[in-house]
Amino acid sequence: MAANTNELNDMTKKLYMSMGIDEKVYDFCNEIWNGLEERFDKIRKVSEFNQAKVLKAMQDNKVSEACLLGTTGYGYNDIGRDKLEAVYASIFHTEDALVRPQITCGTHALALALMSNLRPGDELLAPAGKPYDTLEEVIGIRPSKGSLAEYGVTYRQVDLFEDGSFDYESIKKAINDKTKLVAIQRSKGYQTRPTFSVEKIGELISFVKGIKSDVIVMVDNCYGEFVETIEPSDVGADMVVGSLIKNPGGGLAPIGGYIAGKKECVENAAYRLTSPGLGKEVGASLGILPQFYQGLFLSPNVTASALMGAIFAANIYEKLGFSVLPNGIEERYDIIQAITFNDPKLLTSFCEGIQYAAPVDSYVTPEPWDMPGYDSQVIMAAGAFVSGSSIELSADGPLREPYSVFFQGGLTWQHAKFGIMKTLAVMYEKGLVTLTN
Ligand SMILES: *Cc1c(COP(=O)(O)O)cnc(C)c1O
């Protein structure tokens, strides 16, 4: 006979306790979980919309069984690859898209978008503060071989106001004859500023284009895909760029990046990725297309699971008195949750908990290391099926003040929930936190 709800709860609790979750931790967390149903319902509604959007794009473009086959060698006439790019263009409402396993990661996709659309003498403007850490070397903010700076592309940056709003007056002053491309990052990355809503990004784009209409606006869309019902390309971005081992890969894509946007921008990127003259025509997809298609199909639901995990974490750690960004009740625009511990022990304990909750490598303890592209040591927890995938339950944080952890992902909400409980269980076991219900 099937168990009733109470029996099921007891069974699950017992199983969790056998997996190292103290009863007090479970009770504390579960009460918070139960209070979040209304939030979760809204997230499910957004994911229902986005699931239909993805499905419609696949149907409208007549994705067929033959699209899943893939090619080898040069990859001429790879209909599955070409159709996938058409599907991305439909979803993002753009003229074209480049979606390839030859784009190795998000940084590569962003570097590609920038380097292919900027020419010597052009200027790049970041109107909303410092871009993601790894882009510092792409741009040449930190001197690096092959940077845009080495090619004679200059860079200008306008910082956000203290409250995270745009400094429109300084942005206006920063735009000049040389300004060719404007780069906006949707997600907060490793900063403690709010993530921008698509609507807010749209306001900034309108402002910039009102001053210089032919400027190219690129949005770093990492971690933002399918969190809202619209994307930055719906509010005037000429290019949206992201990684397939984050949201749009749905946990299945084992590599890859995308650039969706204006035909000319995508064309420039394709000529840079392969070769002038070859562009999108070459680039075998090998056997990867089923994962790209299926991952994209699952992405709205996976993104929703990650969002539920993030909200759960925010509410738990907020209740324990830590500063959390976003806070427990505010609207979400990406899947990242930042928690500020002001204490390296808590930061490392959090990452240990995520690691111990993983399906892969759960028995190892994460250690801080000097990660390429970052200027301080970073601790990372990820027992992922795809190495380094951060749509899977993962946490990382630079070992520097104020010892904030950036937590994201969860292929299923069930796993995200367990992982967060595990982070608290590690801290509780070490006596680093006290729980009062
Ligand atoms: C992850 C991320 C990147 C870089 O992507 P990688 O795949 O790690 O190279 C760039 N920008 C933002 C906002 C990101 O979150």
Q: Which residues are paired to 76 by β-bridges?
A: none
CA distance 234 to 120: 30
Question: Cα-flanking dihedrals φ and ψ of residue 379, to 5°?
Answer: -105, 135
Buried b (16+ CB within 10 A) or exposed e, 330-344: eebbbbbbbbbbeee
- From the list 406, 88, 399, the residue with the least C-alpha distance to 249 is 88
Distance from residue 131's CA to the centre of ligand 1 (Å): 10
pLDDT of residue 403 exceeding 60, the answer is: yes
| Pairing assessment for the beta strands 337-340 and 404-408 based on DSSP bridges | antiparallel
Helix, strand, coil percentages, rounded to 5, for the chain: 45, 15, 45
Q: Which atom of ligand 1 is nearest to the CA of 243?
A: 7
In the numeric block, which tokens belong to residue 375?
A: 């200027």
Q: Where does ligand 1 bind, in terms of residues with CB under 6 Å?
A: 105-107, 110, 132, 134, 185, 187, 189, 220, 222-223, 243
Mean pLDDT over 34-63 rounds to: 98
Identify the pLDDT of residue 436. 80
The mean per-residue pLDDT over the stretch 98-115 comes to 98
Looking up tokens 């003259």, which residue turns up? 277
Instruction: Indicate the fold that domain 69-286 takes in CATH.
Output: Aspartate Aminotransferase; domain 2 (3.40.640)
pTM for this prediction: 0.96
Give 403 Cα–ligand 1 centroid separation in angstroms: 20
Give the Cα separation of 250 and 170 in Å (integer): 39
d(CA 409, CA 394): 6
120 CA → ligand 1 middle, Å: 25
Best residue among 132, 223, 303 to mutate for probing ligand 1's pocket (most ligand atoms within 8 Å of CB) is: 132
Report helix, strand or coil for 47.
helix
Q: Give the model's pLDDT for residue 150.
A: 98
pLDDT-above-70 percentage for the chain: 99
**Half-sphere exposure (CA, 13 Å, Cβ side) for 102?**
20
CATH 3.40.640.10 placement within the chain: 69-286
Residue 262: what residue type? K
pLDDT at 382: 82
Q: Check if the beta carbon of residue 196 is closer than 8 Å to that of residue 168.
A: no
What residues does CATH 3.90.1150.60 cover in the chain? 5-49+297-429
How far is ligand 1, taken at its centre, from the CA of residue 435, in Å?
35
Q: DSSP characters for 222-254? A: TTTTTTSSS-GGGGT-SEEEEETTSGGGTTT--
Alpha carbon separation from 28 to 315, 329, 356, 376, 421 (Å, rounded): 11, 18, 20, 34, 9
Q: List, in order, residues 6 or more apart from 280 with CB less than 8 Å away.
A: 82, 85, 98, 266, 267, 270, 274
Site to probe by mutation for ligand 1, drawn from 100, 107, 110 as the one with most ligand atoms within 8 Å of Cβ, is: 107
- Whether the per-residue pLDDT at 131 is higher than 80: the answer is yes
Q: Ligand 1 center to residue 106 CA distance, Å?
A: 5
In whole angstroms, what is the distance from residue 274 CA to residue 281 CA? 9
Whether omega before 402 lies within 30 degrees of 0, making that bond cis, reads: yes
pLDDT of amino acid 373? 65
User: What are the Cα distances from residue 55, in Å, to 52, 69, 396?
Assistant: 5, 20, 33
Q: Please state, for a pLDDT cut of 90, what percent of the chain lies above it.
A: 93
Beta bridge partners of 333: none
Over the stretch 249-297, which tens digit does the pLDDT of each residue have? 999 999 999 999 999 999 999 999 999 999 999 999 999 999 999 999 9
Q: Are 335 and 389 in contact (CB under 8 A)?
A: no
Strands 216-220 and 179-185: parallel
* Longest CA pairwise span in the chain (Å): 74
Query: To which CATH superfamily is domain 5-49+297-429 assigned?
Result: Methioning gamme-lyase, C-terminal domain (3.90.1150.60)
Classify strands 378-381 and 394-398 as parallel, antiparallel or unpaired. Answer: antiparallel
Q: Check whether 1 has a pLDDT greater than 80.
A: no
Q: Side-chain half-sphere of 294: how many Cα atoms within 13 Å?
A: 11
What is the average pLDDT value for the chain, to the nearest integer? 96
Going by the DSSP 8-state scheme, the letter that residue 255 receives in this structure is S
Judged by phi (left if over 0) then psi (alpha if -120 to 50, else beta), residue 194 lies in: beta
Q: What is the pLDDT of residues 296-333, one digit of tens each?
A: 999 999 999 999 999 999 999 999 999 999 999 999 99
Higher per-residue pLDDT: 165 or 189: 165
Torsion of CA 400, 402, 406, 407, to 10 degrees: 120
48 pLDDT more than 90: yes
What are the pLDDT digits (tens) for 65-105? 999 999 999 999 999 999 999 999 999 999 999 999 999 99
| CA dihedral of 15, 17, 20, 23, whole degrees rounded to 10 | 150
For residue 428, how far is its CA from the centre of ligand 1 (angstroms)?
Answer: 32
The CA distance from 230 to 218, in Å, is 16
Q: Determine the distance separating the centroid of ligand 1 and the alpha carbon of 97, expressed in angstroms.
A: 19
Indicate the top mutation candidate among 222, 223, 246, 334 to test ligand 1's pocket, ranked by most ligand atoms within 8 A of CB: 222
